[in-house]
Amino acid sequence: MARSPHFFSFIHTLRHIFSHIGVTLLAVGVAFSLPMLAQYILFTWWPMVEDDSQLLLINEIIFAAVLVLLFNLFLGARQGRLSHRMNRLVSLVHVREESNWRSRWSDRKLLERITGTRDVSVMSVTGYDTFVSQRRKLKNVIDHSYELRVMLMNPYGTGALRRLQSLGDPAPLLETYCHETAATIERLAALAAAGKQVTLKFYEDPPFWNLIVTGEYVWVQYCHDGHELKNQPEYVFALLRDQPTQGLFSAFYVHFLNHWSDPRHPEYDFATRQLIYRNDKGNEVKRLSFPPQAAPGGSFEPIRLAS
């Protein structure tokens, strides 16, 4: 059951109220303690240490250590404020690392805020971790969405071969890619049968970005050559409602839309299990079976439409 966004707004308001109350009480406490602290230093502490060289040296060392600590805290706070400002400029709201328990905890908190997402757009290698294994924990977001637009890498294309060669032995990796892609297709077919509007396309180029757009958030991973995608950090950028042109959300979303509208990328037909190729005007020009069937000469023969 999705939580109301007004409930989160109410909790956020209460946090601000209690934080202001705490800061006010702390300031009042410091103000009232200053006269007593000054009296203690002038009439108790200083007469006790001024004639004792060893005690005076110890106090000087402690005082110097406290000053260094406070200076480092100031620099850390300043650097944190600068980092917060830069994150705000690029609209970075979360970094996901699989081995970091704090990032996994923040991941769950972020997923709780993503409610009422009407459409989900995915540009992935096989889509297995998003739709089948649920490693990204997006099941609730996907189940509550209405439209799914998915782009996967064609595991039988030249781009997949270049990707596999950068990772090691292509043969077993190709089998894994084909198995994961087939599992993703079956999952998407089940979602389409359940009433969701699902559109699946394939791209031929080597993967560059792994993108998941969930409403006003985009999850980004860089597909680095020679490295498994699951080992790469994942960055989450949010749409800034007050300044939609600021930040990287729009840049990555437009990147997805440009690839989605490219007529070179065929659409998958769940009923016939074929790839539908269209021209610039959107007219169907040919079909290819998927997985492809090898012709007697060893090449893949396209299934052309009758003229």
pLDDT in tens, 97-146: 766 666 666 667 777 777 667 899 999 999 998 999 877 778 888 888 89
Q: Name the amino acid, one letter, at 191.
A: L
More confident residue, 175 or 304: 175
Query: Which structure tokens are listed for 305?
Result: 């439409």
pLDDT band with cut points at 50, 70 and 90 for residue 48: confident
Indicate the domain borders of the chain. 36-84, 94-265
Beta bridge pairs of residue 304: 286
Q: Indicate whether this model's pTM tops 0.85.
A: no
Instruction: Check pLDDT > 50 for residue 61.
Output: yes
Topology given in CATH for the domain delimited by 94-265: Endonuclease; Chain A (3.30.870)
Give the ranges where the chain is alpha helix by DSSP (H): 5-40, 46-49, 53-90, 101-113, 128-131, 139-143, 158-167, 170-193, 249-260
Q: List own/partner pairs for 117-120 with CB under 8 A and 24 or more apart.
A: 117/141, 117/144, 117/145, 117/214, 117/215, 118/145, 118/146, 118/147, 118/215, 119/145, 119/146, 119/147, 119/148, 119/149, 119/215, 120/145, 120/147, 120/148, 120/149, 120/212, 120/213, 120/214
Q: End-to-end distance of the chain based on CA atoms, in angstroms? A: 52
**Mean pLDDT calculated for residue range 235-252:** 86
Residue 147 pLDDT > 90, yes or no? yes
Enclosing H/E stretch for 214: strand 209-214
